Amino acid sequence: MTNDQKDPLFILVKSLSKSEKRQFKVYVGRLGVNTDSKFLALFNHLDKSEKLDEELIVSKGIVKKQQLSNLKAHLYKQILISLRLSPLHQNVRSQIREQLDFATILYHKGLYKQSLKILDKAKTVAKENEENNIAYEIVELEKVIETQYITRSINSRADELTIEAKMLSMKNVLTSRLSNLSLQLYGLMIKSGYVRNDREHKEITHYFESKLPKYDWGLLGFREKLWLYKAHLWYSFMVQDFLSCYKYSKKWVDLFYKHPKMITLNPVFFLRGNHYLLESLYLIQDKTQLKLTLRKLEETIQSDDFPVDDNIEVLSFQFIYNNRLNIHFLEGTFDEGEYLVEEILENIIKYKNRLDDHHIMVLYYKIGCLYFGMANHKKCIEYLSKIINNKSLKMREDLMCFARVLSLVAHYEAGMDYYLESQLKETYRFLIKMDDLHEVQKEMIKFLRNLGDIFPHQIKDEFRKLHKTLKQYEDHPYEKRAFLYLDILSWLESNIQNRPVADIIKEKSQKLAR
């Protein structure tokens, strides 16, 4: 029995829409000999199956056991060819690539003039859409052909092609260096998280400034600007400069709205830019702009000219629901956001083969926070347990840390004192091991560990002391982020005032709006 959740062929077959399945059968039926082929029989079997059972495939006589691996590989390839031919998966980039392939065939047949004509048109489209890598490939093929197809204008053509190649090469090198820097910063953030002190701040600043290539702003096109904004954005996130995060994510999104055809050509980058803009607005707690930006994004996604495919569908789900939850967190309207839970869980099941564990756990953490705000602490613990007990997951350490701390608080609020002591020990061991013990977390754990020695009539005084201690970190450059993952101060205030935490957050939200 093969694990059907990990088998690439089974996952691919199950990801196909009705129109894509119909397209595949039309593609197979182009040659009459294919209608009874083994790979089509295997396709039909997998299409109707709920799980992948290789023994059943063999017993049905579709293929012999020793041939099954090759047949699966052949079917996988044929499905990809069919998808490539489908109009649903055609875009400007694939059309340019197709024209380059046609021109290459004509060149090998010695039909130089026809090849050059196609290349010239393809190059124009590539430049218009800033597909500079393909444009460079086209120019290089033009140079090869021009050395064999001699014309009277060869001298001027040689100069033109040399200048074009040089300019495109320069743009591609700059784009590559900027995209490398952006990726390296992202990798550092995933590995090490945000900076935690002045020393780390200086190190990452030096790294960023030394790697940032020099450039002439007037020569930057869409792609160069996009990668430049990305690099600045990741640097800003790492040093926890949330206003700069907003600045560069806004530039990123505005760049797309200034070049609307790029939204169609690069929908994933457009979606991600909006996600970081929305996250930045959440971090600076600008709920008005957050709501307006989310509404504009949803309207754009739902418009007729916005591309639709499986990847875009999954990303749209993640980004929209994450930020719908964030709005409820900022406004303190936790009860009003509960309807989102069922929708999120349905979509997690729907996209289970396309959502990685990390993004699922982020959603579980937010659901846990939602239930905590509703004072449904047992439900909160239920969702946080899904994160804490996920032993196979290599996730961002900060998420795991705050899930554990919030779980401790939820256990206390739920009156589950029996579990608190063991939870405290386990959480403390985890945080020490992860080397990610922030001052806010230290104070929280110290407070919770001492709860057993505090008399009931002293508890409010202890809440006030902790509130005073933590308040000093609210605007601390390296500690303030803790309050965005878990609003400890509002929780303390709710206990001091004997009021629901949602009411405290609502009041703060209303004051910010004035």
Q: In order along the chain (514 residues), what is the average pLDDT of each group of 10 residues?
A: 68 87 85 67 89 86 87 90 77 89 91 91 92 92 82 68 90 91 85 82 93 89 93 93 96 96 92 96 92 96 88 93 94 94 95 84 94 93 90 66 83 76 73 68 76 70 85 82 77 86 85 65
Q: Which residue is it, tokens 């998420």?
A: 399
Measuring CA to CA, which residue among 324, 316, 402, 300 is closest to residue 355? 316
* pLDDT at residue 122, rounded to an integer: 94
* pLDDT at residue 245, rounded to an integer: 96
* pLDDT at residue 356, rounded to an integer: 83
Rg (CA), the chain: 28
Tell me the C-alpha distance between 382 and 368, whole Å: 8
Establish how many alpha carbons lie within 13 A of residue 495's alpha carbon, considering only the half-sphere containing its beta carbon: 20
Query: 110-146: string of b/e by CB count within 10 Å (b at 16+)?
Result: eebeebbebbeebbebbbebbbbbbbbbbbebbeebb
* pLDDT at residue 1, rounded to an integer: 44
* pLDDT at residue 61, rounded to an integer: 84
- Hey, where are the domains in the chain? 8-89, 114-150
* pLDDT at residue 324, rounded to an integer: 96
Tell me the C-alpha distance between 415 and 411, whole Å: 6
- Do 28 and 22 touch, CB atoms closer than 8 A? no
* pLDDT at residue 334, rounded to an integer: 93
Could you tell me the CA-to-CA distances from 348 to 17, 75, 307, 359, 433 in Å, in that order? 18, 28, 22, 10, 31
CA angle 130, 232, 167 (to 5 degrees): 30
* pLDDT at residue 373, rounded to an integer: 92
Q: Which residue is it, tokens 């690439």?
A: 8
Reported as a single tens digit per residue, the pLDDT across 392-416 is 655 566 677 788 888 888 888 888 7
* pLDDT at residue 452, rounded to an integer: 65
pTM for the full predicted model: 0.81
